[in-house]
Structure 1
């Protein structure tokens, strides 16, 4: 009986350790934006569109949905004929990335964004809702402000990690109470280093997606001023 009890305890310990280690290992893998997975999805989307009279395998979103979150890929429509399963790093398979399409009217391209940004935005919204009114601070543009985090109980300002530079990006709030990531620093870096050709009055965010697998999710439109520096494109 003692031998059985000891064996049971050993096996239970191994099972417990395995159960603890596996999710961490799986989570680590699901946080990596593998280029090969994006290429595989791109091939599947291209084939699906070709064989389905131009229809794209996307979920239906409201017409007012921001452009970079508007066309999420619906993997169920492509499994198993066009792809064996959703990528391991996709939201549908337990990952942190949402796979989306951009340039759907021209040549659809597969991109991704990190859904952990949405979690932080949701957290800020919850604190604002608990207070009852938006904690506006400094005005950045028409209807765009920084956030007074102390008023909603933050000791340190929350931020999003840039998929382009790995820098910390602040959040901004509009007069409607909507929260967005401020990609100004990323755009400034791209304008200076890539010598991208942009026009005043036009949305310049595509310069971020041109050479990256990421889209600037949860962002407002931007343009440039006379100095070719990024500014919010507001009415």
Structure 2
């Protein structure tokens, strides 16, 4: 009897620990029906823009590109039966966005769990700035961006799991104003290796990440190709 209780307790601990790790590392990569929902929203957007040149967007929610193009499902009534089950509006963990607001807008998603982590850390950076009258800059990363000095914040170092390759963890960086971003250069380097043709120096390299994925590189600064390496460029 005691052995059964011990085994049951051990299994419960393993389940709890496993659950925490999976949540922290975002190993539940996508909901089962997320690809279908992205395609459904894409179809609705395609029909919507046939009748109006103005995209169905909410107000911008932040400084990075993809925070400026959040889809407003209220404006898609008549084109979409309901908001996607995986969307924030339905209690899901994804925000549906327009990745490319050009002639044929592309629908993609951002993971709200990333937003939560960045938002919590941004509060600490803002408090540090108000208290110390300076920003917690680490080393220079180019383009007016810096690594984040977690020690100054009295915070544990934090890396963001990549939505593209589960084994890659992405550093958090900040600009001269103290706004937090995520460094996707390691992912872009891999994408560049798979490109048959070298991108022009003016091409926004973030497109290499989302063009064959459901996910946009949330909180990424603009990157361009300089030499053989991606470099940050303020927008």
Same fold? TM cut 0.5: yes
Question: Aligned partners of 2:43, 2:66: CA distance in 1, in Å?
Answer: 20
Q: Note the alpha carbon deviations across 1:149-168, whole angstroms, 9 max, x for none.
A: 0111223x112221111221
Q: Note the alpha carbon deviations across 1:69-98, whole angstroms, 9 max, x for none.
A: 21111111223x222211111111111111
Structure 2 residue ranges without an equivalent (≥5): 1-26
Partner of 1:163: 163
Q: Note the alpha carbon deviations across 1:150-191, whole angstroms, 9 max, x for none.
A: 111223x11222111122111001111011000011101101
Partner of 1:204: 205
Change (3 A) 1:152 1:41: same
Question: Aligned partners of 2:123, 2:99: CA distance in 1, in Å?
Answer: 30
Change (3 A) 1:95 1:31: farther
Partner of 2:136: 135
Q: Is the 8 A contact 2:126 2:178 kept in 1?
A: no
Change (3 A) 1:82 1:94: same
Question: Aligned partners of 1:76, 1:181: CA distance in 2, in Å?
Answer: 30
Q: What TM-score do you get using the length of structure 2 for normalisation?
A: 0.78
Deviation at 1:30, TM superposition (A): 11
1:4-19 matches, cutoff 5 A: none
Deviation at 1:210, TM superposition (A): 1.6
Change (3 A) 1:29 1:218: closer
Say what the alpha-carbon RMSD is for the aligned residues. 2.4
Structure 1 residue ranges without an equivalent (≥5): 1-27
Deviation at 1:59, TM superposition (A): 1.6
Deviation at 1:225, TM superposition (A): 2.4
What is the aligned residue count? 203
Partner of 1:46: 46
